[in-house]
Structure 1
Amino acid sequence: MQPKIATLASTETSLIITSSGLSISTLIALDDPSFTATDSAGKKLCTGSRDNFVHLWDVETGDCIKQSGKTRNLVTHICWAHGQPAVAQTSEDKSVRIWDTRTLQESIVFPKKQYIQSHCDVSEDGNYILSSSNGFNGQGCEVTLWDMRTTKLVNEYWGHEETVSACYFLPWKESVELIATSSMDGTVKVWEQSTCKCLLSFRFPGSGPLTSIAPYPDGSLVISSSETGNHIMKLNKLTDGSIVRQTVGSY
């Protein structure tokens, strides 16, 4: 199966799935679509928006399979759990939800945080979820690790001064599990998952707020900024266990 890319149209009324640059499906009648996530097989796609709804789509036919709404559920991010019929979703109502994609009904709603939840990611084994918080001047601005099995809060990661725009489990395989975060305070941070220790914090000169991260298995991170475009950073681990960075380039 050829790789597919989901893109949201600027018209706010359609979503295009492309394969090798060709449009193969158009999903119509989305009201202000915000975020998308595909399953591991690339056959289904879930979208969420500020209209309080999540939709499940058949990628090949472009048909809406299911939809579900929740009052005040203004979607801020969606992430499909690896190999599972489950989608994680953050919301402006300060909640983190898990949707069962077989029924598109809520299966888990974690305890509400104090601030809007801006982003989420699910661990490769499907046992944990990260969510990040809105905030300012160090109030809020935390990242939370949740246990999907117990629905309990496990850890919180503090150190950003403004809204945390993205949080990811790093696929880079090391002796310890790592997570990476970006923030509107202009910093990208790498944390040890179990201890909450910040192993690396870096600010790209003149970058302004950082808006997103894309992690890769080789230890590379692509970080998007509001002022200076995208930056590529490579992580390396030293013999003493510390993490150092190498800036590869920008575009």
Structure 2
Amino acid sequence: MSGEVRSSAEAIRALLEHFRQKGFKRAELALLHESAPIDDSDPNIAKSNSQQLEPIDTSVSQQIDEELRKVILLMNRSGYSGPDPRIELHRMESAYSDLRDWIDGSLDLYKTELHAVLYPMFIHTFLELVRRGFSDHARAFFDRFGTEFRGGELEQDNNQLSSRQKELFSIAGISSYQHLLENETALLFLKNRYELYLSPYAFELFLGFMTDDSSRMFMLRTVNERCRIERTSDVSSSSSDVHQRGGFLAESERNGMLKKDVLWGRLKPTQYLLPDTIEENAKGAGDGDDMEEDEEAQKPPVVEADGTISASHVPLPKFRIGAKGIEMPDDLKERVALSSSNLPSILCHTFANTSGCGLNSVSVSKDGSVVVGGFQDSSLRFWDCKSGASTTCVGHQGPVYSTSIALDNKHALSSSEDGTIRLWNLELKTDLVAYRGHNYPVWCVSFSPLGYYFASGGHDRSCRVWCTERTVPLRIMSGHLADVDSLTWHPNCNYVATASSDRTARLWDVRTGDCVRIFGLLNGAVTSVAISNDGSRLAMGGEGGVIDEWSIAAGTKIQSFHGHSGTVW
């Protein structure tokens, strides 16, 4: 009987500790009342009872074993109030320090991948100290242990900081619980699981250390609630590789998307060109032909042997043969194969003396005849490359960050810090419509390869697909954990690729609005993304100067290109 009593007492003691940590005062006192009658002869207990809780019927408590009643009463009389906050503070700091020292003393074979665990543990320990009101200790903890992650003192110039340094720079100013709730980086860590990769033996070593001492319970709980550990077959020995693989990306989510088929092929000319003659337009008007077309429409689109898709998911605009800016079937045949002796030609435009006016964005038309620039003073400037004439237009209420020119060279789009996208008529030199939907600055905007549709991305972490005829978005793609910094359309107009500061690029299905591929993680924010002309490959670049090439169909990395010393824009 005494063993059962001790077990029950320990369970109740654990519940009381949990209630006091969470601040559930009424639940705590209710448990004490239900577990044992309160001895009102003790003035401290009587006072506490009268101030904090209404009188409760204690008839059920009378049935509790006498020895258990004495244990609970003793806990109450002795002023048991859970762990002392100062003791908890010391435990949290000591647990992190012990983990750090243990990893530094580990075998070199596993030290690198184990060291990746320290970063999320450091962030969550700092945030927990702030949450519990230990602001001064949190600042001391940050200054003491944060140096190894930020590589020295944090600089103010964000262009010179890595993604990890930017995260540290963002949370460095948190000094209260209210600051924590308003900080985007802190919420990113608190609302998402940090992905970690450990080899099986390193995982066993880490788990053994965490469970070896009960004082490390906070760290173990953090790993369980805030992290996701993926066990890999290989042992990572490169610190850059470990940093690149760790982050807010679920490997299971990415692998699940690989089961979705992607129509990566090109469009057939018949899918966007109108028949050239009346005879061709009237061809296939019989009932039998209509039936065949209906059967063809019911078949799921596929990528055919010639690299084209059998049908498009998305309704496409139709053009007559010879329409300006539309690629004809004969154009494909006249292309010259690229080689070391046949390099592609490049048209470059140089803008001089732009430091004073703040040139943020430049777009060049497909035929190179029109150039559009967006400026910091909220203005746009259009240049006619043939005549050299230029026109300045104003309509936005903030800096213009991105521009895009339509196929007809008569219209252009611009996105701004004011959260709007504007459609401009280059002949009338004025804006025609403002598209509102983003709640924050819009960093990028782009017409689809065939016009009519366009996409935008911004600080609200979403990508939106629009058409020029409507002022509300047709699709909203949400999934990135940080700003959408860049985007591009797939050549067949069925997909949009986005690049984000969360170190990933994503491919979105325009018809459904779903994410069908995740590419990454890059070693830093992804600031640029492009898709090959045949639609089979995607390239992404960003901080660190590395460009990664990916297979869209397989969702796997093909190769990486190194050479840049700065960010790839």
**Residue of structure 1 equivalent to 2:465:** 145
**Residue of structure 1 equivalent to 2:416:** 91
Q: How far is the alpha carbon of 1:86 from its aligned partner?
A: 0.8
Structure 1 gaps, min length 5 = 14-29, 135-139, 237-242
**Residue of structure 2 equivalent to 1:200:** 517
Runs of 4+ in 1 over 6 A off after TM superposition: none
CA distance in 2, matches of 1:71, 1:42: 25
Q: Is the 8 A contact 1:123 1:169 kept in 2?
A: yes
**Residue of structure 1 equivalent to 2:131:** none
Q: Is the 8 A contact 2:413 2:446 kept in 1?
A: yes
The answer on 1:57 being equivalent to 2:57 is: no
The CA RMSD over aligned residues, in Å, is: 2.0
The total of aligned residue pairs comes to 217
Q: Which amino acid aligns with 1:12?
A: T
**Residue of structure 2 equivalent to 1:250:** 561
Q: Which amino acid aligns with 2:506?
A: K
Please give the secondary structure, in 1, of the residue aligned with 2:519: strand
Q: How far is the alpha carbon of 1:231 from its aligned partner?
A: 1.9
Please give the secondary structure, in 1, of the residue aligned with 2:427: coil
**Residue of structure 2 equivalent to 1:81:** 406
Distance verdict in 2 for CA 1:71–1:187, change over 3 Å:
closer
Structure 2 gaps, min length 5 = 1-344, 563-569
Please give the secondary structure, in 2, of the residue aligned with 1:5: coil
| Greater Cα offset, 100-109 or 87-96 | 100-109
Q: Is the 8 A contact 2:437 2:472 kept in 1?
A: no
Please give the secondary structure, in 1, of the residue aligned with 2:349: strand
Output aligned runs, 1:4-43, within 5 Å: 4-9=347-352, 11-12=353-354, 31-43=357-369
Q: Is the 8 A contact 2:517 2:552 kept in 1?
A: no
CA distance in 1, matches of 2:520, 2:540: 11
**Residue of structure 1 equivalent to 2:453:** 128
Q: How far is the alpha carbon of 1:60 from its aligned partner?
A: 4.3
CA distance in 1, matches of 2:490, 2:396: 33
Deviations 1:219-248 (A, max 9, x none): 222211112422222322xxxxxx523323
**Residue of structure 2 equivalent to 1:113:** 438
Please give the secondary structure, in 2, of the residue aligned with 1:37: strand
Distance verdict in 2 for CA 1:230–1:76, change over 3 Å:
same
Q: How far is the alpha carbon of 1:179 from its aligned partner?
A: 1.0
Q: How far is the alpha carbon of 1:209 from its aligned partner?
A: 0.6
Deviations 1:98-153 (A, max 9, x none): 1111122101211242111110111122111101021xxxxx20001112122331
**Residue of structure 1 equivalent to 2:497:** 180
Q: Which amino acid aligns with 2:557?
A: Q
**Residue of structure 2 equivalent to 1:239:** none
Please give the secondary structure, in 1, of the residue aligned with 2:439: coil
CA distance in 2, matches of 1:145, 1:194: 10
CA distance in 2, matches of 1:70, 1:148: 18
| Greater Cα offset, 80-89 or 155-164 | 80-89
* Higher helix fraction (1 or 2): 2
1:169 is aligned, of 476, 482, 489, to 489
Distance verdict in 2 for CA 1:59–1:167, change over 3 Å:
same
The answer on 1:224 being equivalent to 2:541 is: yes
| Greater Cα offset, 121-130 or 88-97 | 121-130
Q: Is the 8 A contact 1:186 1:203 kept in 2?
A: yes
**Residue of structure 2 equivalent to 1:210:** 526
TM-score (norm 1): 0.79
Distance verdict in 2 for CA 1:109–1:170, change over 3 Å:
same
CA distance in 2, matches of 1:84, 1:43: 8
Q: Which amino acid aligns with 1:190?
A: L
Q: Is the 8 A contact 2:526 2:540 kept in 1?
A: yes
CA distance in 1, matches of 2:465, 2:458: 12
Please give the secondary structure, in 2, of the residue aligned with 1:153: coil
Q: Is the 8 A contact 2:546 2:560 kept in 1?
A: no
Q: Is the 8 A contact 2:435 2:471 kept in 1?
A: yes
* Higher strand fraction (1 or 2): 1
Distance verdict in 2 for CA 1:108–1:245, change over 3 Å:
farther
Percent identity, aligned pairs only? 19
CA distance in 1, matches of 2:530, 2:351: 18
Q: Which amino acid aligns with 1:45?
A: V
